[in-house]
Structure 1
């Protein structure tokens, strides 16, 4: 009976919207199917009280290195767990490099921005004034005037939930779930 209920619910969710969960009475016959149903909620995986225990268990299992649970009868795929502790604001991309003090993450603007002229000035020996705050400074002509432009940098933001898995349910768009 529970399998019939689950299959009917999943079919209804797929027909209406692959990421819709309705009511608060989603039932599943096993933990993997509970996880799939809860993750498909557009309001978040722990929106409904019934989802909180299986989702908490999921986070514990993934954090311990266990694989993502499966659910038979549902077209479901998950990636291996990933880890991304940093992110950048819009208009910046995250870059990482190794420096004298270990690995360092930096947000670098995706477009050139006007910066102070001192960054574009040569010091007689052909070298420009370079700091961690501007990359690739150069003179660019804009509106008939030369302007110093470069890619500005910023400190990355730190995620409160840096672990993730990418899930796909019944061929719908892949969704990244952070934990």
Structure 2
């Protein structure tokens, strides 16, 4: 039986080489462990006991001033991306609100325009009344449970796959 070629399987050889070769093992070993664990999806890194030490080390390091993301140069991914918010529900678009100081908080709302008078059959409305029927409603934009991601290129297919992960224990 042959193994299925997934981005994680494909980079495992590169990552293992980086971890096992003495010259590459020093600076990038932890970064390669983090990449390998973060890209695990079934189960996530939380379900892989070997991933707990490097990921717990990462979580602790992130709390310290001057934190630099550990990278795995051999994999060519660099630091992960971050997207705090998930997509808005169908029918909504991304909107913004202002914080207490009047500064825009970009993309923190999902908004849509609705006609609150639609279906009302109590006579005709003048144009002013009709305009007042149109309102913008908003909901808080959902947060991603796993806001970090690595884009990993599959060397076999050439396709790039996004692997989402979180850093909460």
- TM-score if structure 2 supplies the norm length? 0.56
Q: How many matched pairs?
A: 137
Aligned to 2:150: 167
Pick the structure with more strand per residue.
1
**Counterparts of 2:163 and 2:91, CA distance in 1:** 22
Q: State the 1:67 CA deviation.
A: 2.4
Higher relative contact order (CA 8 A, sep 6+): 2
**Counterparts of 1:99 and 1:128, CA distance in 2:** 28
Helix, strand or coil at the partner of 2:131: coil
Q: Structure 2: which 5+ runs fail to align?
A: 21-28, 155-159
Runs ≥4 in structure 1, deviation > 6 angstroms? none
Aligned to 1:128: 131
Pick the structure with more helix per residue.
2
Aligned to 2:166: 178
The 1:161–1:67 alpha-carbon spacing in structure 2 relative to 1, beyond 3 Å, is: farther
Question: Where does 1:1-179 land on structure 2 (aligned, <5 Å)?
Answer: 16-20=5-9, 28=19, 30-43=29-42, 44-64=44-64, 66-79=67-80, 82=82, 84=84, 88-98=88-98, 102=102, 103=104, 105-109=108-112, 115-117=116-118, 122-123=127-128, 128-129=131-132, 134-135=135-136, 153-159=137-143, 161=145, 164-170=147-153, 172-179=160-167
**Counterparts of 2:41 and 2:5, CA distance in 1:** 13
Q: Structure 1: which 5+ runs fail to align?
A: 1-12, 136-152
**Counterparts of 1:91 and 1:20, CA distance in 2:** 38
- TM-score if structure 1 supplies the norm length? 0.53
Q: State the 1:100 CA deviation.
A: 7.5
